[in-house]
Structure formats: structure tokens, C-alpha cells
Homo-oligomer: A and B are copies of this chain.
Amino acid sequence: MSVTREKILELGENLIRTKGYNAFSYQDISTELGIKNAAIHYYFPSKENLGTSIVKTNIQRFEEMVENMNSRKFGEWQQLEIFLKIYTKSHRENKKCIVGALSPDYFTLNETTKRDLRRMVEMILAWLTDLLDKGRSKKIFSFNNDPESKATIIFSSLVASLQLSAVLDKIDYKGFYQSILDDLKP
């Protein structure tokens, strides 16, 4: 695959995760990469096209992470920690996650990007629900409510924590992170 294409994808993702979908433009990418506007249209005919490609990349990354954890037979606690690391890393880099960056603009997205984003959220929630359920059976996690609601609470917390940490310069992210884990301790 083309190097320029990959650079566009990477920069596009970063722009979505910092400025948001509706605030970033092809200009932002072209000036940064020292290419012309039309060069981006060569690889991604429309913004819709670029958007979906970025979401699809993220879906793939998530799938690879899950596959990797399964093949290495990681325990539930370890899997949760690896998942949470996505967010501590994003927090360090002052970025939202792709879900938290795109979901607020959901109604302004085109149908393809909407569908991909929905698929991604469903995948993550299904995986997390399953992880929590399994972990509780094995007495690794402890919680009272149903696994799906608990998964929604945890995922929502993570998504918005990255948004709020941009607003509050001094957020105790480590304390937040630890509290999520503590809440699950038996």
C-alpha cells in the first residue's frame, strides 16, 4: 500500500481524534503532508470515504487485539488491563478514542460511516460484556448488575473520560483508572 495513503489515514485519524470529524478538512492534511488537496481525493474520493476507511482501520485493530489476547490465552483481568491501556495511552496523547470522537457527530455522518461506527461500538460492547460475564463466573470480577449494563457503564466512562480530560486540565486519570478496576475487585 502507498506510503502517502497510509500517512493520510494516520493524520486523518489524529485530526478526528483531536478536532473532530466536522472540524477537520482536507486542507489540514494536505498542508501537514506537503501535498495538494487533490492528492487526498486521489486516494479518498470523498471525506465519507476517508471517514469509513479510518473507522474500518480501527475495527481491524480491535479485532487483532482480541485475536492476539485469545491466542495467547490471556486471563480476564489481564485482558481488561490491556483494553484499559488504550485509554491511558490516548489520555497521555491528549486524544479522544475514535468512538468518543465520532459518536457525538453521529447524525452528521454519512450512512456508511454510521454503519461502521455502530458495528465498532457493538463489537466492543459485546466483547466487554462477554469478558465481564466470563470473569465473574471465574470469580475474577465481582459486580451485582447484569454484564451488559456493567459493560455499558465501563465503556461509557472510558469514552467520556477522554473528552472530559481535555476540558479539565488537571484530571486524576490514574485515580479514575484505578477506581474502575477497584469496582470490579472481588
Contacts and interface: CB of A to CB of B under 8 A. Distances in A.
| Interface SS of A by simple majority | helix
Interface in A81-139: 96, 99-101, 103-108, 114, 117-118, 121-122, 125
A31 interface: no
A125 B148 CA distance: 26
Which of A18, A144, A161: most chain B CB closer than 10 A? Answer: A161
11 contacts: A19-B108, A23-B108, A100-B104, A106-B167, A114-B167, A152-B172, A153-B183, A156-B156, A156-B157, A156-B159, A159-B160
Interface residues of A, number: 51
Contact of A159 (B105, B149, B164, B176): B164
Contacts of A71: none
The 3 closest A-B pairs by CB, nearest first: A149-B179, A160-B160, A156-B160
A2 interface: no
A20 interface: yes
Nearest to A108: B23
Given A156-B161, A160-B156, A171-B152, A105 B145 contact: no
A182 B145 CA distance: 7
A179 B151 CA distance: 10
A163 interface: yes
Given A150-B179, A160-B159, A107 B171 contact: no
Contacts of A158: 156
A118 B19 contact: no
Nearest to A120: B167
A166 interface: yes
